[in-house]
Amino acid sequence: MEGFDLHIHSNMSDGTFDPEAIPGLAKAQGVCYMALTDHDTAAGCKRAIAAGESIGVKVIPGIELDVEFPTELHMLGLNINPDCPAMVKFEAWRGESRRQRNRAILDKLSAFGIPAEEYMEHSRGNDTRLHIAKAIIAAGYADTMPEAFEKYLNPGCPGFVPGVRPSEKEAMELILESGGRPVLAHPCKIKADADKLIRELADYGLWGLEVFYPASTEGQKRGFLSLCAQLGLHATCGSDFHGKNRENPIGGPYEKNQALECAWREFFER
């Protein structure tokens, strides 16, 4: 059985490969079913879908929304309609807010003596703080991505600027309005009471949990599968592939199995 992967990034956000290249990379890893889920944009989805059709890889359109929360929280929208007016309007607003935030971050870093802007390598769509972190490294002020964030970009650091994001409920409403399924991304990374949060999100319309993720422990997988059973949620899988910007390979050990059966049927058996 071919593998599937519902969390992949291209260079329309903070990945390093064109959307057209992703299906071929996936197929080389035995993945013939996938979702493209760039940060706050679905601009590369149609290109990935067309490329996938030419080589026998089924691609569904997706997005990963950054959500307002005390710590990092991301919501996947799977099988959305990229042309939904609400989604198009959101992407334009979010893209502009990102550009304004990035401008403010670069200005603060410059005032602190770090010429990060001179070393920026831009995405084809939405630049993220990852691009700024890479520029900080290229400028010689950090050796690793975690160091760049911890020294310059996280709250309390010289280059920190708060972002403007939708709430959890707003993010799910947007995904649902665009015909998609809201899935909580990498719940294993949540720095809060994950059980309580997931139960609250389920009341708002959460469809699934990204149970199978590279950083998930076996204990976390069992716990999230139990929550799925209790709350009527669906388990999904994702590598969070970012190309050369992250080590996670496309696919991982994700194949159709009993835990992932509902997600498989929802997105691919049509």
- Residue-wise pLDDT for 23-47, tens only, equals 999 999 999 999 999 999 999 999 9
Mean pLDDT of the 8-14 span? 93
Cβ atoms 200, 99 nearer than 8 A: no
Provide the 10 A C-beta neighbour count for residue 245.
Answer: 19
Q: What is the pLDDT of residues 76-118, one digit of tens each?
A: 999 999 999 999 999 999 888 888 999 999 999 999 999 999 9
Provide the 10 A C-beta neighbour count for residue 1.
Answer: 10
Mean pLDDT of the 244-260 span? 79
- pLDDT of residue 1 exceeding 60, the answer is no
- pLDDT of residue 126 exceeding 80, the answer is no
Distance of CA 71 to the CA centre of its chain: 15
Q: Are strands 74-78 and 58-66 parallel, antiparallel or unpaired?
A: antiparallel
- pLDDT of residue 155 exceeding 80, the answer is yes
Cβ atoms 97, 162 nearer than 8 A: no
Mean pLDDT of the 171-193 span? 96
Kindly state the greatest CA–CA separation across the chain: 55
43: three-class secondary structure by DSSP: coil
Top-confidence residue, 164 or 8: 8
- pLDDT of residue 11 exceeding 70, the answer is yes
